[in-house]
Amino acid sequence: MADARISVPAKVARGEPFEVRIQIRHPMETGYRTDDVGTSIPRNVVRSFTCRYNGETVFAARLSSGIAANPYLRFFVTARASGELTFEWIDDVGTRGSDRAVVAVG
Partner 1 sequence: MRCALAVVIATLAATAFAQERTLPLSALRSGTSFLGPDLRAMQDDESANPGLLWVSRGEQLWSATAGASGQSCASCHGAARATMRGVAARYPAYDKSAGSVLDLEARIDRCRIQRQAAPALSRESDELLALTAYVAYQSRGLPLAASIEGPAREAFDRGRKFYTQRHGQMNLACTQCHDENWGKRLLVETISQGQPNAFPAYRLEWQSLGSLQRRIRACLFGVRAQMPPPGAPELTDVELYLAWRAQGLPLESPGVRR
Give the separation between CA 23 and CA 43, rounded to whole angstroms.
Answer: 20
Selected binder of partner 1 within 18, 23, 65, 86 (CB under 8 A): 23
Q: Does 5 bind partner 1 (CB under 8 A)?
A: yes
Nearest Cα neighbor of 51 from 105, 106, 98 is 98
Selected binder of partner 1 within 13, 14, 17, 21 (CB under 8 A): 21
Selected binder of partner 1 within 46, 54, 55, 68 (CB under 8 A): 68
Q: CA angle 55-56-61, nearest 5°?
A: 110
Q: Does 28 bind partner 1 (CB under 8 A)?
A: yes
